[in-house]
Structure 1
């Protein structure tokens, strides 16, 4: 493992997903899933999210579209929160999800809209 890349990834991951979520995921890692936590932190967050080619905001919008296409509700919820942290507005999220309805299917978009509404309600309470 590249410690520098891991630390950079940890910093970005915390800024997008929230320190408490990330720290809990790392702390709860056991012998079985620790290698996955290290891989995700080092390569996903440290290698790709730190690149200059796209802003965090753009990466978040792309992730919402891809996760909707893949029908990954847990990750959609997580990345919706991250998108809000990265400055993606509710209107922009709405547009991304409308776009997914056309290219990924209406049922997938319906699920993501439902999850987005839940996340918005939670964020409005905080």
Structure 2
């Protein structure tokens, strides 16, 4: 395995590609020096190691993250990962299907707010249009 500084650099780069440099810098600075150790773990191990593995595509990882953040009631994190999913090429239909699974297995209330967020990010026009709603 690579050393932590290499993992950190790789992870920071991936994070910036997925979410944008400004958004990553804002999130990294949010908790100041108190949050720095957590940000190191996120950059090095989450994005520099786990997201670099070859078993899943970035699209599938993004869809999994949408399911996890929706099911666990983390709308702020869902929003971040929905933006990353869009950047990773996930379709509106894929996100709809993930949220339908969340609704069926975790209860409809678990999918309500994530559906609103996804509609903002992936479009909210009439079903079948180029700007079709997520759910």
Q: Considering the TM-score relative to the shorter chain, is it more than 0.5?
A: yes
Cα distance in 2, alignment partners of residues 28 and 63 from structure 1: 21
Matched residue, 1:84:
86
Q: 1:67 to 1:28 in 2, by over 3 A?
A: closer
Show structure 1 runs of 5+ residues with no match: none
Residue 101 of structure 1, aligned match among 88, 100, 103: 103
Kindly state the Cα deviation for residue 29 of structure 1 after the two structures are TM-superposed: 5.2
Kindly state the Cα deviation for residue 111 of structure 1 after the two structures are TM-superposed: 1.5
Higher relative contact order (CA 8 A, sep 6+): 1
Cα distance in 2, alignment partners of residues 12 and 98 from structure 1: 29
CA contact (8 A) 2:86 2:122 kept: no
Root-mean-square deviation (CA, aligned residues, Å) is: 1.9
CA contact (8 A) 1:9 1:41 kept: yes
Cα distance in 1, alignment partners of residues 76 and 87 from structure 2: 17
For 1:1-126, what aligned pairs fall within 5 Å after superposition? 2-28=4-30, 30-121=32-123
CA contact (8 A) 2:28 2:35 kept: no
Cα distance in 1, alignment partners of residues 27 and 9 from structure 2: 15
Show structure 2 runs of 5+ residues with no match: 124-130
**Cα-to-partner distance string for 1:36-59 (whole Å, 9 max, x where unaligned):** 111111111111001111111000
Q: 1:27 to 1:109 in 2, by over 3 A?
A: closer
Cα distance in 2, alignment partners of residues 18 and 88 from structure 1: 17
Pick the structure with more helix per residue.
Answer: 1
Q: Larger C-alpha radius of gyration, 1 or 2?
A: 2
Count matched residues.
Answer: 123
Kindly state the Cα deviation for residue 30 of structure 1 after the two structures are TM-superposed: 2.1
Q: 1:29 to 1:111 in 2, by over 3 A?
A: closer
